[in-house]
Structures are given as C-alpha cells and as structure tokens.
Amino acid sequence: MQPSQDKTQLRFLTCGSVDDGKSTLIGRLLYDTGCLFEDQISSLRCESERKNADGRLDFSLVMDGLLAEREQGITIDVAYRYFETKNRKFIVADAPGHEQYTRNMATGASNSEAAVVLTDARNGLLAQTARHTYIAALMGIRHIALAVNKMDLVGWSRDIFDKISNDYEGIIKKLEPDSGELFVTCIPLSALEGDNVFARGDAAPWYRGPTLAEYLETVEPGDVTAGIKPGPFRMPVQWVNRPNANFRGYSGAITGGTIRARDEIIILPSGQKNTVQSIIVSGQERSAAERGEAVTISVTEETDISRGDFLSDPRDVPDVTDHFRAAIIWMSEDKLLPGREYVMKISNRTAPAAVTEIRGRMNVLTLSMEPAKTLAKNEIGICNVKTQTPIVCEPYLKNRESGGFILMDRVTNDTVGAGMIRYSLRRASNVTWHSFEITKEARARLMGQTPRILWFTGLSGSGKSTMANLVDKKLFLMGRHSYVLDGDNVRHGLNKDLGFTEEDRVKNIHRVSEVAKLMVDAGLIVLAAFISPFQRDREFARSLFAPGEFIEVFVDTPLEVCERRDPKGLYKKARTGEIPNFTGINAPYERPDHPELIVNGNGSAEEEAERIVKFLENFGDCG
C-alpha cells in the first residue's frame, strides 16, 4: 500500500432518494476498508443485533449519527467521513434524501468533485434522483456514478438494470445542453451484501464494468470539475497584512491558477495594474504559489488595495458587473420575490442585491423550465440578479469560488439562497451615474427647506392618505414644496401593471421608493402613503435615503376601526373571499419596529396632522 501522504484525494457525494441505501453504502465502504475503530464495530454489532433478528450488520448506523436520524431512520444533515484504499484517500459526503433537505444536499455538492447517485432497483428513477443529478451538475460536478442499489432484491435482473441505465441517460441528455458534458458510469450493486462495491461476486456475470471502488479510484480529481482545472490566477483579498511600517501585504487563498514573483497582476474592480514583489506562504518566502494555498502577496508599486478586492491575471480578467444571470437554489420558508432586496456574499465581498426577474423554474419531473413569478423552498430557478455595487465574478463552471454566491436576509442574516453565476448581462461600466452641477443641497437652499420623505404606513382605511393630504395642505400654506405619492394614484399609471400578490406588492413599493428618491433629490418634501405591509420592504425604502431623510410615520389604527370605516368596501369583499391577499384579513401586516413617529389613526386627523408638521419643524425643515 502506498504511504498515505503520497496518495491523491477525492471528495465525492452520495445522494439519491430516501431509503435508496446511501448510508448503508458508506458504512460498507468504511467497514471494508478497515476505517472503523474496534469500539465503533462493537457498537455497530450491538445496535444491529437489537435492530435485526438475524444480527446482520446494519451499516447505515455508522453514518446516521444524529438522534433524530436514528429515530426516523433517515439522514437529515450532511455527514462527512474519511476512508482510504491502497491507491487513494477519500472524503465522502452523505447527503439527505428527503426533498425538504435539498439545501443540505446542495451544500455537500458544492464541496465535492464527483457524485454517486443511488437508486433503488425496485423503484427505478424517482423525481429526487433527477433533482439531485441536476443540482450536482449545477454545482460543477462532471463525473457521476449511477449506483443501482438493492439489485439482490430484483434477482440481479439485467433487464431492470438496462432500463434504469437507459432512463438515466435520457436525464443526462436533457441536462447537458445547460450544464456541459457529463460523464456517467452505471454500476449494479448491493450495498448490504457488498457485491460490486469492492468485490464482484458471482451474482451478475453479465456486468463487465468497474466496481464502485474501482470507479472511485480511477476518477481523476483534476478532471471532475472545471472549478479545479488549472486556470488563470485568481485571489480575493481577505486581509491587508501590515505587521510593521516596513511591510504591507495582501492575504487570501488562491482560487485559481498559479502566481509567481515578478508576475503582473490587475486589481479589480479598480482596474489598476501592479507587479508581484514577494510571495509568502506559512511565513516562508516562495518563488511561486498555486490554487488552494493561503498566501500573502506584496506588490512593487503603492496601490490602494482593500479587503474584498480581487487580484487577477491581467491576460484573463473576470467580469466586473452589477447585473448577471444565475441559477438559484432557494432555501427559505419565505418565497423569493423579485424586487425584494437581499445581501449577496461572493468571495470576500458583500453587496445589496435583488432578483429582477425569474426567467424560469426547473420542473424536476420533466427537467424543463416553466414560467414562475416566485421560488418556494427547495425550488431552483434561473434568475436575473442586480447588485447595488459592482462585483467581480465569472461563470461558476469556470471557477466555483468567483462564480458561486449566497443570498442572506437583510434583517435576520439567515442564508436564504445559493446561486451559481452563468454569465454577465452587462458590465457595470456601461451604466454610469451622471453628476450634474445643480445639487440636491442647492435646490434645497433655493426652496428654503430640507428635503425629506415621510413614509405613512398602516392598514387600509387607517387614515394614511387623509393625514398625508392634511400635512401637504399645511406645508403648502407655509410656502413649503411638497408632493403626495398615494398608493391608489400610482396604480393608475406607474404601477398599473401590478396586482396585489405578495410579489407585486414588493415591486410596487420598490418602484415608488425609487421615484421618491428622485423627488427628494429634486429638493421636495415627499409624503408617501402606502400600506407597505412588509418590514423588509420599508427597510429597503429607508436604505435609499441619507441618514435622517427617511421618516417612518406609523398610522396606528385598530383593524376593527379600519373595517368599520371601510371607505371602499374592500374589507367586506375580503371577508367574503372576493379579494384574496387583502392585508389584515388574509395577508399579513408587519407593524414597524422603530418608526420615527406613531400617530393615532382613531383620533382627530387634523390634530395628528398638526403634530406631524410640528415634528418636522423640530427637524428645522419648516421654519
């Protein structure tokens, strides 16, 4: 056997539907390679005897370490295990089979170089088989073994194996136009009995292909995914290393290619060029470093380089863009809504981002794209994404690290989606902000006021528009320049194409927020009266304005009072089911957490409007 340090290593994923035998297969691999300790084997025997009357070893117990998994007999989390054969070392990820844990499977695939997709020979290919294969392909895995398991339960029927293999080839053909060439090997086996795992046995003399172990030993890691192939130099800067006044270096992990002393590099997004002066790895100066190594690089010319910047080979430069197309796996209980802002993390950079359009949602039964306005948990869509600031990126199939990203909720910081960039839609440099000589401050001085936006939020019938109108009149009489943006009025023109679904409500608020931003830039005091039921969308509106410009006014009127007023008869229709998605009845309203002003919508509108104007005067806006 080769010394362990001289062996190559392969990271692979096992996936498939529930009860296809993934945990049993990995337990078998660990047991047959002698990678279990004596106490683990003893525990395995004891638990197997309690579970099985015949005392046969239940290898799935080796992997199902979580109590909940053992109680339910399923795999929930991604479990990683290490084993080695005489020729190679392996890290194997056991992915859960249930559909609700698709995001866990995607996590395992993102770190893998090959995939073993299991299917139960009795059941054939299932929807989850296709879903996992599609995700593996999305994640850049190019070599896939279809392990047709439990062949002993179908009498090692060659006809059944051939049918499953042919059906799987049909799945692969549907995926390849979108994912590039996939290399598939179909292997009949029995994880429980061990046939065709390591030893061939006599059960299937008609099968001439490799055993699973032979397959795993011969897959070359350098070929399994484009993210690992040699390529141009790439390094996101993680840290500016300044141990003393005589040295400044830029630290990070090389995510592509090789770098040598005296190589020319380009710094992105600034586009400045420089030359590598020294390369330090683990405290020692080196002449070169390659992908996967953590390094500190110093440069010959003094240049502004910060955390989140990107060092690249100037002969092959990634995109600097703020608009791109990506495949997104949605992981949140809350639906993905186009227009809603999230936080995107890619490499070492974060940026506010929103999906501008869902181009299609993958139907895992037909492996075709279908129209969609939202993505629910575990659904996969092809989306256009827009970031507020330019990012450095390239296609995921070219480089995983600079092509993969996550989306996080702006309020909770929970990871809600994982994305794989396909291509840039346009370079950020094609669209620039034109600065004009007459500024917002100059317009404000001419008008004698400070531009603000008062964002009135509350239930339908709470009195938002009434109060905005009264405040507008008072400001007009004081010689102030103001304008009311009303929820109903904008739907006659600007937003007449939008309905009242959750996704359309998000678009409505985002469009109005952008319009209000322009009006504040013109020097106006803007009064926006919108139900705006979602806290995160009001936070998005706030994020567009300078500190102190956005004043959230919560018109706090009880639901029963709003429903009693019912000036448009909407509550009555909502109660009878004529109006779906009506806020307060069959759609939620999220009360503001910390509004600048709370007004009583059940009191005197005139008095409350006067209080709002006094509030503005305290800001010095109306004096």
Residue 575 lies in a domain: yes
Query: Residue range 163-186: average pLDDT?
Result: 89
Predicted local distance difference test score (pLDDT) of residue 326:
94
Beta carbons of 213 and 85 less than 8 angstroms apart: yes
Q: Average pLDDT of 322-340?
A: 91
Q: Angle CA(57)–CA(62)–CA(63) in degrees, nearest 5?
A: 135
> Burial level of 92, CB count in 10 A (0-12/13-18/19+)?
buried
In this structure, is residue 502 part of a structural domain? Answer: yes
Q: What integer pLDDT is reported at residue 224 of this predicted model?
A: 39
Section 213-226 average pLDDT: 71
From 284, 312, 340, the end of a domain falls on 312
Given CA atoms 203, 208, 214, 216 in this order, what sign does their dihedral have?
negative
| Per-residue confidence band for 69, with pLDDT thresholds at 50, 70 and 90 | very low
Residue 585 has pLDDT above 60, yes or no: yes
DSSP, res 462:
S
pLDDT in tens, 528-575: 999 999 888 899 899 999 999 999 999 999 999 999 998 788 898 888
Shared domain for 214 and 340, answered yes or no, is: no
- Extract the tokens encoding 99: 């559909």
Domain-located, residue 228: no
Report yes or no on 404 lying in a domain. Answer: yes
pLDDT reading at 319 higher than 60: yes
Choose the final residue of a domain: 223, 255, 290: 223
* Number of domains present in the structure of the chain: 4
For 269-307, how does the pLDDT look when each residue is reduced to its tens digit (9 = 90+)? Answer: 989 999 999 999 998 999 999 988 999 999 999 889 999
Indicate whether 229 belongs to any domain.
no
**Does the annotation mark 165 as catalytic?**
no
CATH of the domain at 251: 2.40.30.10
pLDDT band at 5; cut points 50, 70, 90? low
Last residue of a domain, one of 312, 334, 360: 312
Q: Are residues 185 and 293 in the same domain?
A: no
Which residue among the candidates 42, 532, 543, 604 is catalytic per the annotation?
Answer: 532
Per-residue pLDDT of 334-391, as tens digits, reads: 999 998 999 999 988 999 999 999 999 988 778 888 989 899 998 999 999 999 888 9
Query: Average pLDDT in the 156-173 region?
Result: 95
Give residue 432's pLDDT: 58
Q: Are residues 379 and 361 in the same domain?
A: yes
CATH number at residue 547: 3.40.50.300
325 and 308 co-located in one domain: no
- Which two three-digit tokens encode residue 294? 């953590």
Is 445 found in the same domain as 425?
no
Per-residue pLDDT, 622: 53
Q: Are residues 204 and 247 in the same domain?
A: no
Q: Which range of residues forms the domain containing residue 150?
A: 4-223
Same domain, 554 and 464: yes
The reply to whether 21 and 169 lie within a common domain is yes
Pair (299, 156) in one structural domain = no
Distance, CA of 557 to CA of 603 (rounded, Å) = 9
Residue 54, pLDDT score: 60
The rounded distance, in Å, linking the Cα atoms of 582 and 573 is 9
Does the structure show a pLDDT above 80 at 75?
no
Has residue 111 got a pLDDT over 70? yes
Q: Report the run of H or E that residue 221 belongs to, with start and end.
A: none
Are residues 56 and 157 both part of a single domain? Answer: yes
In the predicted structure, residue 214 carries a pLDDT above the cut 70: yes
Residues 302 and 333 in one domain: no
Give residue-wise pLDDT tens across range 475-489: 999 999 999 999 888
What is the reported pLDDT for 499? 78
pLDDT at 67: 40
For residues 423 and 451, state if they share a domain. no
